[in-house]
Amino acid sequence: MVFKRAVWALQYIRSMTIDFRSDTVTRPSPAMMEVVKNARVGDDVFGEDPSINDLEAFTADMFGMESAVFCPSGTMTNQIAIKCHTQPAEEVICERQSHIYQYEGGGIAYNSGCQVKLIEGNRGRITAEQVTAAINPDDIHKAKSTLVSLENTANRGGGSCYEMDDIRKIRKVCDDNRLNLHLDGARLFNAIVAKKQQPKDFGSLFDSISICLSKGLGAPVGSVLLGKKDFIKKARRFRKVMGGGMRQSGIIGAAGLYALQHNIDRLAIDHEHARQIAEALSKKSFIKDIFPVETNIIIFSVTPVYAAKRLVAELKKHEILAIAIAENQVRIVTHLDITTDMVRTTCEVIREL
């Protein structure tokens, strides 16, 4: 009883903090937990979990793609996709700051035995011309270029979004050069909402797409990899190899389906919140510059007066959490556990800094 009360108190205290560190910190809502409680489950390694089968079918249909597989994380969906698209000693083309290269523990080398050709993009986005220039010639000295990977929205680009036309041009380059095209869509729904696009626009242009349910959509765990039937069949094999085959995973899959059915349109609120915070920041003299805020991520740099770590520490005194992502750079991410009141409080604190 005492223990229970302590846990409750701890949660209460934690809920007082305004946590902008990432959109991964969201906790399942009571409505989501109700769905979880009633989820029908089975053994998903046998293909018998009805909640997972529903989730995979729903997602594939949403994107107009043939098939889908549920995985424990976005790192795993990306890594499986790269593994399925490549052979060892081949080359993956991606942006310098992309998650698959920077934040997946060297997985491209470890899992796929591939090397990477990095492109310096514009806030995380690359162009068809850059892709063309990055493709290796058919020369035995050179690694064979086989895969291009894009990130939308681009995390280190401050949640920047691709224009559909620019993706179409990259698709054409891939077709002309027999390259596959993968999308790290950890925050694809933020782009879809911000740009008023349709999931099927993306489904028709990419060979594979990874989406995260555990970011802005607010599910506790999980990502979905989408692609052609044969591709997903192969992906299931590698998911098992990587230890990602789960049993009654419908418990978390049901939360993921709930998130897709209820939490997409509301991302617009997160975008508006981010815009308001960026506006408050823009008036401060210690801010050097702010990346244009397109979705739910604000990346800004501070003048030497205020090292990033010091600013983060200052905010923490007011129970506002952000992350210093570089010596002089701070990242703030809005999400569904951030209320309009919290945004107002944050803007007031910023004004007083």
Ligand X SMILES: *Cc1c(COP(=O)(O)O)cnc(C)c1O
Stretches 33-41, 70-78, 106-114, 254-262: which one binds ligand X (CB under 6 A)? Answer: 70-78
* 306 phi and psi angles, rounded to 5 deg: -130, 90
Tell me which of 26, 59, 67, 75 binds ligand X, using CB under 6 A: 75
Q: Which is nearer to ligand X, 63 or 306 (CB)?
A: 63
Shortest distance in whole angstroms from residue 317 CB to ligand X:
28
Is residue 136 close enough to count as binding ligand X by CB under 6 A?
Answer: no
Shortest distance in whole angstroms from residue 240 CB to ligand X:
18
Stretches 208-216, 241-249, 283-291, 324-332: which one binds ligand X (CB under 6 A)? Answer: 208-216
Q: Which is nearer to ligand X, 149 or 197 (CB)?
A: 149
The residue of the chain with the least Cβ separation from ligand X equals: 74
- Give residue 315's identity as a one-letter amino acid code: L
Is residue 74 close enough to count as binding ligand X by CB under 6 A?
Answer: yes
Q: Tell me, by CB under 6 A, how many residues bind ligand X.
A: 13
Shortest distance in whole angstroms from residue 67 CB to ligand X:
20
Q: Which is nearer to ligand X, 74 or 227 (CB)?
A: 74
Shortest distance in whole angstroms from residue 15 CB to ligand X:
23
Is residue 102 close enough to count as binding ligand X by CB under 6 A?
Answer: no
Alpha carbon 106 to its chain's center: 18
> Of all residues in the chain, what percent are helix, strand and coil, respectively (each to 5)?
45, 20, 35
If you write DSSP's letter for every residue of 184-240 in order, what string do you get? EETTHHHHHHHTT--HHHHHTT-SEEEEESSSTT--SS-EEEEE-HHHHHHHHHHHH
Bridge pairing between strands 180-185 and 144-151: parallel
Cα separation of 71 and 56, whole Å? 10
Could you tell me which residues come within 8 angstroms of residue 247 by beta carbon, excluding any fewer than 6 positions away?
A: 43, 44, 45, 49
Shortest distance in whole angstroms from residue 6 CB to ligand X:
29
Stretches 4-12, 67-75, 269-277, 293-301: which one binds ligand X (CB under 6 A)? Answer: 67-75
Shortest distance in whole angstroms from residue 231 CB to ligand X:
19
Interface mask (CB under 6 A) for ligand X, residues 176-205, using x and -? --------x-x-------------------
Instruction: Report whether 331 contacts 299 (CB < 8 A).
Output: yes
Count of CB atoms within 10 A of residue 173's CB? 20
Cα separation of 238 and 39, whole Å? 27
Tell the residue number behind the tokens 């995260």, with chain if given: 212
Instruction: Report whether 136 contacts 91 (CB < 8 A).
Output: yes
Shortest distance in whole angstroms from residue 212 CB to ligand X:
5
Interface mask (CB under 6 A) for ligand X, residues 213-242, using x and -? -xx-------x-------------------
Interface mask (CB under 6 A) for ligand X, residues 152-171, using x and -? ---x----------------
Count of CB atoms within 10 A of residue 301's CB? 16
If you write DSSP's letter for every residue of 322-347 in order, what string do you get? -EEEETTEEEEE--TT--HHHHHHHH
Tell me which of 91, 151, 207, 270 binds ligand X, using CB under 6 A: 151
At 26, list the tokens.
Answer: 């969201």
Shortest distance in whole angstroms from residue 175 CB to ligand X:
25
Cα separation of 297 and 18, whole Å? 15
Shortest distance in whole angstroms from residue 51 CB to ligand X:
19
Using CB under 6 A as the criterion, which residues of the chain lie in contact with ligand X when the complex forms?
Answer: 73-75, 78, 99, 151, 155, 184, 186, 212, 214-215, 223
